[in-house]
């Protein structure tokens, strides 16, 4: 079953919304226990966001603009954590986000080589 570009964009948008909400909640309001480290969570989140964003593109947007948007989302959320009680921006979080973006793009291109679009 093929999912349309429009539906993929909606999925990406909802995922971004969840990431924004979780990133800007005060630390004491987050009760999610993850089986991996904070940095791994950052990496994996931005990896998935980027992969879905690239799948959602119908080639109207350049690769660089999509990657820049993903990295800017990470920068924006890290910087705005200055204003959230119990949250502090961390350079290593930003690095994990950016590496997730780059690896998401790499896996996307490997995926495209294996399964070309019609």
Q: Which pLDDT tens digit goes with each residue over 12-48?
A: 899 999 999 988 988 777 666 767 788 999 999 999 9
Tens-place pLDDT, residues 51-85: 999 988 876 667 888 899 999 999 999 999 999 98
**Strand boundaries in the chain, DSSP class E:** none
Give the residue among 93, 89, 103 at the shortest CA–CA distance from 37: 93
pTM of the entire predicted model: 0.85
Length of the chain equals: 118
What is the model's pLDDT at position 1? 61
* Rg from Cα positions in the chain: 15
Instruction: Examine the pLDDT at 117 and tell me if it is beyond 70.
Output: no
Give the residue among 57, 76, 79 at the shortest CA–CA distance from 66: 57
Q: Parse the chain into domains and list their residue ranges.
A: 38-118
């Amino acid at each position: 079953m093929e999912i349309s570009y429009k539906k993929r964009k909606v999925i990406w948008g909802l995922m971004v919304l969840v990431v924004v909400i979780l990133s800007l909640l005060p630390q004491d309001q987050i009760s999610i226990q993850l089986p991996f480290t904070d940095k791994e969570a950052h990496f994996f989140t931005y990896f998935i966001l980027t992969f879905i964003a690239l799948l959602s593109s119908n080639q109207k947007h350049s690769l660089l603009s999509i990657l820049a948007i993903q990295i800017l989302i990470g920068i924006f959320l890290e910087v705005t954590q200055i204003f959230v009680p119990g949250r502090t921006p961390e350079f290593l979080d930003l690095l994990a986000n950016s590496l997730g973006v780059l690896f998401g793009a790499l896996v996307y291109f490997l995926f495209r080589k294996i399964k070309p679009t019609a």
